[in-house]
Structure 1
């Protein structure tokens, strides 16, 4: 007869079977169940509103303290009416044209510049204009006396209606120096001034969850932006869906020759 093939068999002595084979342990072992990790739900924060006079510290970061000072009624209503009409007529308003990716478009507002030095923002330069309107000089001196700061330049903005606006930006050009002080004086229709905190490096430029503020700027209101506000925050005046009359905004600032500003 041909030899038969060897047959594998359990040669372990009775009672020494491996533990994982025991019936009394098969049912008592804890079964592994996969559970998807719970995601932390992030909510878009509601925008805060600042509409009362006072000094507000917005944030404190390694760059410094970001601070604003809101002074409604800095110019009383009757005087503000007269100033608004004079500036509307006398300032040489103009509209700048931008070119991006070979497409030209006009700024959705009118502007005018006053100062001994040029001012460059959004890649366009406004040429020096030392011929200050006497009314603007008076307003500059009144703000300087009130705040203790001195200013040598002024950017004027005319928002003709609700369709005019300025997009998110910071006034952080090199010619403004470190931690610039901006004095913003408003006349005419109330428009909402919005601010948003710049995201941390971990957010990779995502502004979805950052802190936001809304500040209505009324006729004759002065808003001071100080400290690290331009370093750590952005601001804008958005378009609005409801009809708005004209608004003039005067932003007094200190301009340095660019070699000094940097």
Structure 2
């Protein structure tokens, strides 16, 4: 047997036999039985058929349920002055910015001294039952303890002499008295503090907080609390950024802690250390409040 005939026989054994062609018929007997043709579950009517056609509905425009809104541009405050940043049912929110509150030479000396001599440590906070280390160092001065983020800083009446001098200078400018101080050390751009308000019940209603910055410049950001109808959505709220440089004093007063949150965000480029001194007045916990409980503003009904 030649090679050509042998290859043809082998290939033929692999091939499947084709079904015989069905004879052509005319009339009703030409229909294929049910087991030979699958039924269509949802037959699609042909647009070319002679049966009734489904006319598509005319497009109707419906006004969106929620109005389209623009994200408001972020405001920048960097010039000295008094600013009323909002008016609302809880009152007027105010900022007072004083760049150069401390002369550069004095600020340099004070920064070096406080960096070296204050008892800096890293505080452990709790969020939803989970412990985490604050991304900064802190220390506390005051006759009463201070509780926030579900952990407490013990009372400390041993004020550093330089802090007493600074407290007196801040009180003279602000026309307020302060009995406590929270010190924050941001070691570099990766240290930060997240969005929050200083609205613990121990701070009282409408507290005034004086923030003095030493060291490298960091951006202090604020965002307006959303109204109840926005269900906690911060997308469209007002925002403000305030660069706080060496020797700058910022006063927050009025309804700022009721109506605004603030933060110092992480920065991913070189930043040197920064010390932030926040003078405040602490009271004994009001009756019925646990330590660290928020004091929420409630608008009076007309």
Give the TM-score taking structure 1 as reference length: 0.85
25, 44, 62: which is aligned to 2:89? 62
**2:237 counterpart residue number:** 210
Shift of 1:92: 0.1
Work out the CA distance in 1 between the residues paired with 2:127 and 2:85: 33
Higher gyration radius (CA): 2
84, 99, 112: which is aligned to 1:72? 99
Deviates most, 155-164 or 40-49? 40-49
**1:195 counterpart residue number:** 222
Shift of 1:42: 1.6
- Gap change, CA 1:182 and 1:117, over 3 Å in 2: same
Deviates most, 58-67 or 41-50? 41-50
272, 276, 285: which is aligned to 1:258? 285
Cα RMSD, aligned residues only: 1.6
**1:37 counterpart residue number:** 63
Is the strand fraction higher in 1 or 2? 1
Work out the CA distance in 2 between the residues paired with 1:242 and 1:78: 26
Work out the CA distance in 2 between the residues paired with 1:101 and 1:51: 37
Structure 1 residues 134-213: aligned runs within 5 Å? 134-213=161-240
The answer to whether 1:49 aligns with 2:46 is: no
Shift of 1:102: 4.9
89, 96, 112: which is aligned to 2:123? 96
Shift of 1:32: 7.2
Work out the CA distance in 1 between the residues paired with 2:95 and 2:112: 28
- Gap change, CA 1:206 and 1:188, over 3 Å in 2: same
Work out the CA distance in 1 between the residues paired with 2:153 and 2:203: 14
The answer to whether 1:225 aligns with 2:252 is: yes
Deviations, residues 114-158 of structure 1 (Å, cap 9, x unaligned): 000001111111100000000000000011111111000000000
**2:268 counterpart residue number:** 241
Count of matched residue positions in the alignment of Structure 1 and Structure 2:
232
**2:148 counterpart residue number:** 121
Deviations, residues 63-105 of structure 1 (Å, cap 9, x unaligned): 1100000000000111000000000001000001123345332
Match of 2:116, SS state, is helix
Match of 2:199, SS state, is coil
Shift of 1:35: 1.9
Question: For structure 2, which runs of at least 5 residues remain unmatched after alignment?
Answer: 1-56, 290-294, 296-302
Shift of 1:241: 1.4
Work out the CA distance in 2 between the residues paired with 1:101 and 1:201: 23
